Amino acid sequence: MNVMKSLMPLSLVAALTAIAVFTSPAQSYYLAGDFNNWNAGADPMAGGPVQYDFTITNQTPGGYGQIKVTDGTWNNSWPANNVVIRYDANGSATIHFYPGNATDGWLPLANRIGYDDPGNLSWGIAGDFNGWNGTNNLLLPLGNGVYSNSIVVATAGTFGFKFQSPPGSWTGIYFGSDFGANDPNGTYTTTNSPQTVPVVLDLPRGRYFIGNLAPSPVTNTVIFAVDMTYQIQAGNFHPGYSVYVSGDFNGWPSPGSGAGLALVNEPPYNGGSNTNIWYGTNTFVGLPGAAAAQYKFTQNDPAAPNSGWETSNNRTLTLLATNGTLRLPVVAFSDVYPSDVLSAPTPVFFSVNMTNAVGTDGHHFDPGADNVYINGQFANWYAWAGGINPAPAPPGYQMIEQGLTLIYTNTIILPAGTPIAFDYKYGMDPGGVNGGPLDDEAGYAQNHHRVVRSTALNPYPLATDTFGDQYAEPLFSASNPAGGNLQLGAPSNGVVPVTWLGRPGAHLQTATRVSGPWQDLPETDGTNWTTGYVSTNGFVSLTNWPVANQAFFRLIKP
């Protein structure tokens, strides 16, 4: 499966020849570290193929952690030594991985790992030239995780160096050639006595520049664009109110202040006909290829949730390598498209295995006395028993034991507007005395994450959960093209089995050559398709497609 990335459409491709079926899986990367007990395959990074990202949460604010990027195993991992990171004031850190070789003149030369500046760092450069004490040569913050200064090396020669944070300390963060703690020193050779050497550290991009003149700043005219279609359909935004961009570059003004970068929707964006796209421009000056700003879209409709701020993570723009116009991709406000939510009430079948279930409080499930409930986004996360202002669970959320088994089930109608990929949890009511569940399945924000892949199934059957195993299904989306898991089986009797993890708004196309033309198969959309089987990742769509000499298939989300 080869990933072919574009915003419109997003697609995932597999190919078939008369000799053999072959798929080339999209490369996946994972983040391992002390935050997940160094589990090499537990936490997939999103994005690709140029940049992959993962945000660590729920750590000690201002504390330190160690990480590596893996291929899902320990057969391949980067860098050779662990990267030491520091968490921000919320206990979070967003990590970026740039696989492959780099040709921009910065170091390291391959497989760079960086992370967003947590705002609590100071840097120095320590080396042979200053007694290995970074306090003697501090780097000055330029913003957005970029630090720079010039150092004066007294005598000509080759010297080693490392970056330090805080300067002068060997117990915080320090790295040399590849951003890993205890990795080899970086080196640089001077030819004059003395010689002034410019130094630039770009933390989010995982790279540094030392020696020759640092890159000249570039000027980019940046075009922001956001699609408000879902927000309009949901009644969260009414044309006539305003849409803005707020970020590092303008002091994060609130939506109601009117001080953000104001966007327009007339004339229609880029000569198209969609008047639900709001857009505007701003000029940025900075280092080539540097992360120039974090930002969010905002809107000032009184009906807007979250006080008008996007509910998605901060967005980041990266400047071009040269002067020019940077047209950012059109994104949906809060990253929610109409196809990302249920358009009508949808029955979903839940089941959970309570065999050997033990709550976070150590209580062992007693099927003769205890009850089991479900709670989640679709239930507006009603109050847990034993918490603040507890109340009995609303009707309809108790799980029902199936005969003499320890499988408990319930079919729940998910309201229109529920995300197709949603979170939920189970909880026990020991002795049935509370009339509702304790939050005892797993820790805070450790939820099951499942996807309604076909709204044509009634009810849609989720895979059976195991109490305490907070499984997360993948979703085919712009941030995770590989989530469709498009696969081809062995051809037989003139047909080939094609399987994929479907979703509403995504369908197959086929062609006899990769350049097209592509034949649309709209019947395979997750709003229509019912042929397949249930797996660990929910419903797997299946079709046996007639083939002759050669065929290509792709999963596409227009």
Q: 325-345: per-residue pLDDT in tens?
A: 999 999 999 988 889 999 999
Q: Is the pLDDT of residue 1 over 70?
A: no
| pLDDT for residue 390 | 78
Query: Cα dist. 439→50, 244, 353, 363, 383 in Å?
Result: 40, 39, 17, 12, 9
Confidence band for 361, pLDDT divided at 50, 70 and 90: very high
Average pLDDT over residues 443-448: 92
Q: Is the pLDDT of residue 19 over 50?
A: no
Residue 347 contacts residue 413 (beta carbons within 8 Å): yes
| pLDDT for residue 227 | 96
* Distance of alpha carbon 332 from alpha carbon 227, whole angstroms: 5
| pLDDT for residue 214 | 58
| pLDDT for residue 213 | 58
In sequence order, what are the residues at sequence separation of 6 or more whose Cβ sits closer than 8 angstroms to the Cβ of residue 267?
A: none
Q: How many CB atoms lie within 10 A of CB 283?
A: 9
Residue 202 contacts residue 179 (beta carbons within 8 Å): no
Of 3-7, 92-96, 200-204, least confident by mean pLDDT is 3-7
Higher-scoring residue by pLDDT: 1, 547: 547
Q: Is the pLDDT of residue 48 over 80?
A: no
Same fold, 45-214 and 218-336: yes
Confidence band for 28, pLDDT divided at 50, 70 and 90: confident
Of 11-15, 20-24, 250-254, 283-287, least confident by mean pLDDT is 20-24
Q: Is the pLDDT of residue 367 over 70?
A: yes
CA dihedral 549, 555, 557, 558 (to 10 degrees): 0
| pLDDT for residue 4 | 31
In sequence order, what are the residues at sequence separation of 6 or more whose Cβ sits closer than 8 angstroms to the Cβ of residue 183?
A: 79, 80, 81, 175, 176, 177
Fold of 218-336: Immunoglobulin-like (2.60.40)
Higher-scoring residue by pLDDT: 142, 93: 93
% of the chain exceeding 70 in pLDDT: 94
| pLDDT for residue 218 | 86
% of the chain exceeding 90 in pLDDT: 69
User: Is the backbone peptide bond immediately before 194 cis, with ω within 30 degrees of 0?
Assistant: yes
| pLDDT for residue 219 | 93
In terms of Cα–Cα distance, which of 64, 68, 69, 66 is closest to 88? 64
State pLDDT tens for residues 414-431. 999 899 999 999 999 999
* Distance of alpha carbon 387 from alpha carbon 385, whole angstroms: 5
3-state secondary structure 211-229: CCCCCCCEEEEEEEEEECH
* Distance of alpha carbon 235 from alpha carbon 515, whole angstroms: 41
Residue 298 contacts residue 310 (beta carbons within 8 Å): yes
Confidence band for 13, pLDDT divided at 50, 70 and 90: low
Token digits of residue 414: 């998910």
Confidence band for 24, pLDDT divided at 50, 70 and 90: very low
Q: Is the pLDDT of residue 2 over 70?
A: no
* Distance of alpha carbon 145 from alpha carbon 204, whole angstroms: 6
Q: Is the pLDDT of residue 18 over 60?
A: no
* Distance of alpha carbon 115 from alpha carbon 13, whole angstroms: 31
* Distance of alpha carbon 150 from alpha carbon 196, whole angstroms: 6
Average pLDDT over residues 93-105: 88
Confidence band for 22, pLDDT divided at 50, 70 and 90: very low
Residue for token digits 């044309």?
239
Q: Which residues pair with 125 in a beta bridge?
A: 163
Phi, psi (deg, nearest 5) at residue 305: -70, 165
Token digits of residue 339: 């196809």
Domain boundaries, the chain: 2-25+475-557, 45-214, 218-336, 340-466
Q: Is the pLDDT of residue 121 over 60?
A: yes
Q: What is the mean pLDDT of the chain?
A: 90
Q: Is the pLDDT of residue 516 over 90?
A: no
Q: Is the pLDDT of residue 462 over 90?
A: yes
Q: Give the containing element (helix H, strand E) for 233.
A: helix 229-233
Q: Which CATH number fits domain 340-466: 3.40.50.2300, 2.60.40.10, 1.10.1470.10, 3.40.50.10470?
A: 2.60.40.10
Token digits of residue 216: 């000249």
Residue 383 contacts residue 373 (beta carbons within 8 Å): no
| pLDDT for residue 472 | 95
| pLDDT for residue 537 | 96
| pLDDT for residue 316 | 87
In sequence order, what are the residues at sequence separation of 6 or more whose Cβ sits closer than 8 angstroms to the Cβ of residue 540?
A: 499, 500, 501, 532, 533, 534
Q: Considering Cα of 262, then 265, then 269, then 274, what sign does the dihedral take? A: positive
Q: Give the containing element (helix H, strand E) for 232.
A: helix 229-233
Average pLDDT over residues 433-452: 95
| pLDDT for residue 536 | 95
Residue for token digits 């327009």?
264
Q: Which CATH number fits domain 45-214: 2.60.40.10, 2.30.22.10, 2.60.120.10, 1.20.120.160?
A: 2.60.40.10
Average pLDDT over residues 242-268: 94
Q: What is the largest CA-CA distance in the chain?
A: 86
- CA 433-373-414 angle, 5° bins: 140
